Chains A and B, each alone.
Chain A
Amino acid sequence: MTLIKLENVTKVYTTGEVPVTALKGINLEIGNRAFISFIGPSGSGKTTLLNLMGVLDKPTEGNLVVNGINISLLDRAEAATFRANILGFVFQNFNLIPVLTVYENVEYPLLLVKHTTAQERRDRILRLLEQVGMIDQKNKYPNQISGGQKQRVAVARALVTNPQVVLADEPTANLDHATAFKVIAIMHEMQKEFGTTFIFSTHDPKIVGEAEIIYTLEDGVLVNQETKNRN
């Protein structure tokens, strides 16, 4: 089943008087339970593509359908609700809320989604923190943990609402290699455990080994698709 569908998607930014085309006519379909990586050098359009799929931005041309909804038709508030219910995000700079503890950071998105009791929230948060190995750090604030730990918390936060897709833009860019591999491994475990589609971007070809499908972007154009058979 197709979860994300891009039809001839183009994105043009206008910086000053100069229009910059970040994506050119992208056609792509992503299904359920996938573990996908976009690679390419800086400026190739990875972040723009993830922003579009994450309903953080809208395409200049073409259609982008996520979970059956054409995102161009959503207003700001609807887009926010859509993100809260369907998507999870992992950012390059971790982007944890500094005034909240590890536990509270993971709890935050759950409070935006209705129909969860306090007990359900607690059980789900503790289980996720256990799975990403951060249960012992749950009462610490972001400035009291390492970069790798922050990213693990970010993964738990992205998964806590049980989203259909987690989008991770350069999640390992600020981590050393060993930690980067661990984070990707955790993401892959979570994908298997929860059946969530993970889409991550990187400019580091060494860490894409875990990905099932690897798309290569160059100058806003999809130039290659590599599918690995894990069976």
Chain B
Amino acid sequence: MRNLIKIAVRNLFRYKRRTLLTSSLIAFGVILVIVFGGLAISFKTQMVGILTNTALGDLQVHKKDYVESVDNLPLNLTLSGNKLAEVEQTLKQSPYVAAYSPRIKFGAMISNYAQTSNIRLSAVYPEMENKTCPGLVNRIEKNIPNPDQFIRPGEVIVPDNLMKGLGLKIGDEIVLVATNKDGSVNGIPLHIGAVIESVLGPAGKDGFIHIDDAKTLLRMNEPEIVEIAVHLKKFDQLNTAFNELKKGMVAPQSGIEVHTWEQLSPFASIARIVDLLILVVKFILISIVLVSILNIMTMSVYERISEIGTIAAIGTRPGRILSMFLMEGFAMGLLSTAVGIVIGLGLLWLMNLAPIDFTFGMMRVSLAPSIPAREVVLITIIVMLVSIFASLQPAYKASKMEPVDALGHV
């Protein structure tokens, strides 16, 4: 085996320029996958992080059919009493759940006594909301001394576009008017506590109030929760946690639904497109490796027919000749991948020294590209397998040569 590796590696360096050119091409493909993958994965992770940590949570629990009619913000599809207690008990007992936040979401009118506009409100318990969406306070344009109390009863947090539109400033009094589930209209005066930037861009009009104020405004005797946002201990356990929670809550007739962030946000489609692009780049890499190795190994076999005849004549079994050429292709792939990985990771490291900042919608994104170790391992495995596959035909041809014909080849 050691001898096979030795011969394979030495044969590679026999035609240095050709090997260097082919290796460079494969290494370029590996660099492309690592750098593009690093940037794309970083972009996706950042965006998903912003969405889940500042707005959606990792999972959400709703009354059945709520998500289908979410645009109307219905107040008759809610969880309360024993049902709410059961759901909360399940979440508390789940080993995957780090925190959860019950929310009442509803539409309201906001008035500064001169002008009126509409607003979409999330009524929350600030401490629970802060633990579930720890990035939310970063979107509030005010120094929050205690993030667990980012909203207090009697205050409303208003999106900056409404603040500008209605000419409001912090401390001003406004009136919120809303219709409850019975059709009864009510209004309460509140003060502007803070301004929040919209995560959804200029069209977003999402504000926050304390859940106690929502109870008053909507004339609820007890909180009637519209959605419960859930923050997981480990985001990569999303699917496992989703399935476990579904199993625990979504019994037939329970009237409960669990959704992952992917089922709730249109960004999931963008995330899937990013994954698709990474896949396309991987296919480009596979094509590069396949064509390069096939080409170089075919040339190698045709150039060394007489040599193949010699090693066959002195007693090398066909299987060993096959292994010798497979090893050569494998060594070429391994060498190129190693170089590509080193350069690719080096480029990612350089990019981290000067992070790329940009705004996506209203979200400030700072790309610090990195690639998970499993992706690097996957790239290596792909190149190795494709290298062996590409070497297979030339190696098979070499092993099938009759020594007497090969020796006579000029």
Contacts and interface: CB of A to CB of B under 8 A. Distances in A.
Interface of A: 51, 54, 56-57, 76-77, 80-85, 87-89, 91, 93, 95, 97-100, 104, 108-109, 111-113, 157, 161
Nearest to B2: A111
B403 interface: yes
A112 B314 contact: yes
Contacts of B3: 108, 111
Contacts of A157: 314
Given A56-B403, A95-B306, A99-B10, A89 B314 contact: yes
A85 B306 CA distance: 22
B315 A95 contact: no
Contacts of B309: 95
11 contacts: A56-B403, A56-B407, A77-B318, A80-B316, A87-B315, A91-B407, A95-B307, A95-B309, A97-B7, A99-B11, A99-B14
A109 B310 CA distance: 11
Contacts of A95: 306-307, 309-310, 313, 407
A51 B408 CA distance: 11
3 closest residue pairs by CB, A with B: A84-B315, A99-B10, A95-B310
Interface in B4-25: 6-7, 10-11, 14
B317 interface: yes
A158 B306 CA distance: 17
B193 to A, nearest CB: 78
Interface string B376-407: 00000000000000000000000000111001
B299 to A, nearest CB: 16
Contact of B7 (A54, A57, A76, A100): A100
Instruction: Classify the interface of chain B: helix, strand, loop or mixed.
Output: helix
B306 A99 contact: no
A81 B317 contact: yes
Interface of B: 3, 6-7, 10-11, 14, 306-307, 309-320, 402-404, 407
A108 B319 contact: no
A76 B404 CA distance: 12
A14 to B, nearest CB: 13
B11 A89 contact: no
Given A83-B315, A108-B314, A109-B315, A98 B403 contact: no
Nearest to B315: A84
A111 B311 CA distance: 12
Contacts of A82: 315
Contacts of A88: 314
Contact of B316 (A57, A100, A112, A161): A112
Contacts of B402: 56-57
B319 A112 contact: no
A128 B404 CA distance: 27
Contact of B310 (A85, A97, A111, A113): A97
Contacts of A80: 312, 315-318
A88 B313 CA distance: 9
A50 to B, nearest CB: 10
Contact of A85 (B313, B315, B316): B315
Contacts of B14: 98-99
A100 B10 contact: yes
B383 to A, nearest CB: 24
B116 to A, nearest CB: 85
A54 B318 contact: no
Contacts of A56: 313, 402-404, 407
Given A95-B313, A113-B315, 7 more contacts: A80-B317, A83-B315, A87-B315, A91-B407, A95-B306, A109-B315, A112-B315
